Amino acid sequence: MAVLAETVHEWLDGIHNKRLSTASSAENFKFHKSRIRHLSGPGTFPEKDDGFGQGGVLYWMSRDQRVQDNWAFIYAQRLAMKFEVPLHVCFCLVPAYQADTLRQFAFMIGGLTEVEQECRSLNIPFHLLIASNEIDRPEDISSGCKHRWSDENALFNQTDRIEKNFLYETYVAKSVVDLAKLLNVGCLVTDFCPLRAPRSWVKKVTDELPDNIPFCEVDAHNIVPVWCGSEKREYSARTIRSKLFQQSPKFLTDFPPIIKHTCSDKITVLPPPVNWESILSDYVGDKSVKPVDWAVPGTQAGLEVLYEFISKRLKKFDPHRNDPAHPALSGLSPWLHFGQIAPQRAVLEVVAVQKHFGRSADIFIEECFNRRELAENFCFHTPFYDSIKGAYDWARESLMTHSTDKRDPAYSKTQMETAQTGDDLWNAAQRQLVLKGKMHWFLRQYWAKKILEWCAEGPESAIQIAIYLNDRYSLDGTDPNGYVGIMWAICGVHDQGWPERPIFGKIRYMNYKGCLRKFSVSTFVSRYPEKLD
C-alpha cells in the first residue's frame, strides 16, 4: 500500500478533501474558544437592528499570510457567516519591519499576490494598506538594528531611538482603524505574533479602535495557542513537552475550509485589484540583497515543498538531520515564517504517515511542534528575547565575567559578513546564508558560537551581529526560531551550564574538530568556495 499519494496534485486534492470532511464550512466547525483572546470592545457582535456593524467582519492578516489552514481566517468567516454579513481581509505593509531587504520583501509579496487572488475567487475583498511607503533609514545604521532593545550603552541607546522610529504603531493603527470605520464592521479579528513590534501594533489598534467594535486575536501560528501552552517562560524542551502534548488531542485537528462567501451583495466598499508589480518596484529598502531562485513564494509552492520532503527526505531526517552535506531537512522555514503554510498542516501530514517513518517522523514532530512552540513561549514571556538581558542569570553572569577575555583571532562585523575569517567551514556557512538566504540548522549553532568566540566587543555585540546577519540575509529572518537559536548558541537559553572555559564561560562549546567527526566538512565547503565581493 502506498504511503503517500503518487503525485503532488493527488496529495493536494487529498488535503482539500480532508478539510471538507472536517466540516463543510467554518460555520459548522466547533471552534475552540481558547484559541481566541478578546482584546477590547464588547464581547458580543452588534444586533442587526441597530444599524452598526453590518459592514461585516474585518480580518487584519499580519503574520499568517494564507487563506486555508488559518485559524484566524476561519474564525473571522465563522463570525461573518453566523451573522450573515460580508467578510473583508486587510494586510498592512510595514516594509521597514516585515522585510529588511528586497529578498524577503519579494518573497512576501509573492505570497500575498496568491492570497489576494484566492480571496477574490471566494468573494472576500482584500484591502492592501501601507503604513509608510518610505524607509528613511540613516546610512550608517545596519538594517537589523530596528529589532533590538537595549539601553546599556550609547550604541544601543541609538538603536532604541531607531526602533521607536520604525515600529510604526501610529501608522499601522491609523490604517487599520480607519478601514474598520469606513467599512462599518462589527468585529475586527487579527492573528498573533509574540515579537515586540507586532504586539505594539496590536496594542495601539486596541487603544485607538472605537469601544463598540469587538477586537479579537487568534493564535493561527501555533498548534497549542501560546497562552494555553504555559503561563510562564519554560526552561527547556523537557519542561514544556508534556504541557503541549497533553493538549494536542484538543488542538491538533484538521482545518475546515474557507469557502466562497455568500454575502457579497451586501458589500458597500470594494477595493480595486492590487498592482503588485508596482508595490514591488516601489520598494525603497535594501535592494542589494537579491531574491533567491530556489524558493518560490506562496502556499501552493510551500505545500509542494512539504510533499517533496515527506516523499523524498523524511526517511533520512533522523540519521542525517545534523549533516549539512546531506540533504535531509524539510526546507520549509521560509514558508512557515511568512505564514504561507501552517506548521499544523506540516505536522498533520507527517502524523498521517508516522507509522511508516518511525523515529524520523517522531523527531520532525518534536522539532516542528515542541521546539518551535518553545521558541514562541520564550519570545512571548521574555521582553528582551534578543539581548543578553534575556539570558538566564547563570549564563549572563558567566558571559559577563569572560566578556573581556582576549579573542585570538578576533574578527570585525565586516570580516564576518564578507566571510573573511580563517575558518573555511564558517565562511562556507556564511556564503550559503548570503547567496541562498538559508543556513543548515546545525551550522547555525556553530556559526553563532564562533561569532561569540571572535567578537572582541563581548557577548552583547556578538548577539547583535548574529541577529543582523541572520535578519538581513535569511528568508526566515526576524523570527522567534531565529532569535532563540542565537540565544541558545550564545547565551545558553534552553540549555544547561557546562564546564567553564575562556570566552564561553559556562556556555556549551562547539569546535571545528567536532564538526569533522559529525560530517564531511570538505564536501560542504566545496559547495560555497568563492569569496564574496
- Spell out the residues 6+ positions from residue 368 whose beta carbon is closer than 8 angstroms to its own: 330, 343, 346, 347, 350
CA-angle at 59, arms to 75 and 131, nearest 5°: 155
Are 217 and 39 in contact, with CB atoms under 8 Å apart? Answer: yes
- Spell out the residues 6+ positions from residue 491 whose beta carbon is closer than 8 angstroms to its own: 388, 390, 391, 392, 395, 396, 399, 459, 463, 507
Helices of type H across 257-328: 276-281, 299-308, 317-320
- pLDDT tens string, the chain, 533 residues long: the values are 457 888 999 999 999 999 999 999 999 999 999 999 999 998 776 665 555 568 899 999 999 999 999 999 999 999 999 999 999 999 999 877 888 899 999 999 999 999 999 999 999 999 999 986 443 333 332 333 333 323 333 333 334 434 544 458 889 999 999 999 999 999 999 999 999 999 999 999 999 999 999 999 999 999 999 999 999 999 999 999 999 999 999 999 999 999 999 987 888 889 999 999 999 999 988 999 999 999 999 999 999 999 999 999 999 999 999 999 999 999 999 999 999 999 999 999 999 999 999 999 999 999 999 999 999 999 999 999 999 999 999 999 999 999 999 999 999 999 999 999 999 999 999 999 999 999 999 999 999 999 999 999 999 999 999 999 999 999 999 999 999 999 999 999 999 999 999 999 999 999 999 999 999 999 999 999 876 55
Rounded Cα distance between 67 and 61, Å, is 10
Are 485 and 385 in contact, with CB atoms under 8 Å apart? Answer: no
- Indicate the class that CATH gives domain 8-132+168-281: alpha beta
Predicted local confidence at residue 131, as pLDDT: 84
Are 488 and 237 in contact, with CB atoms under 8 Å apart? Answer: no
Are 463 and 486 in contact, with CB atoms under 8 Å apart? Answer: yes
Residue 87: is it exposed, middle or buried by C-beta count within 10 angstroms (0-12/13-18/19+)? buried
Cell 487529498 maps to which residue? 14
Fold of 388-527: DNA Cyclobutane Dipyrimidine Photolyase, subunit A; domain 3 (1.10.579)
Predicted local confidence at residue 163, as pLDDT: 52
Q: Which amino acid is at 80?
A: A
The distance in angstroms from the start CA to the end CA of the chain is 52
Pairing mode of beta strands 56-61, 87-93: parallel
Rounded Cα distance between 235 and 430, Å, is 30
Domain chopping of the chain, boundaries: 8-132+168-281, 388-527
Residue 91: strand, helix, or coil: strand
Q: Kindly write down the DSSP assignment for every residue of 466-499, as one continuous string.
A: HHHHHHHH-TT-S-HHHHHHHHHHHH-TTS----
Predicted local confidence at residue 142, as pLDDT: 32
From residue 409, alpha-carbon distances to 8, 369, 436, 452, 486 in Å are: 50, 39, 27, 12, 21
Predicted local confidence at residue 147, as pLDDT: 36
Rounded Cα distance between 275 and 121, Å, is 17
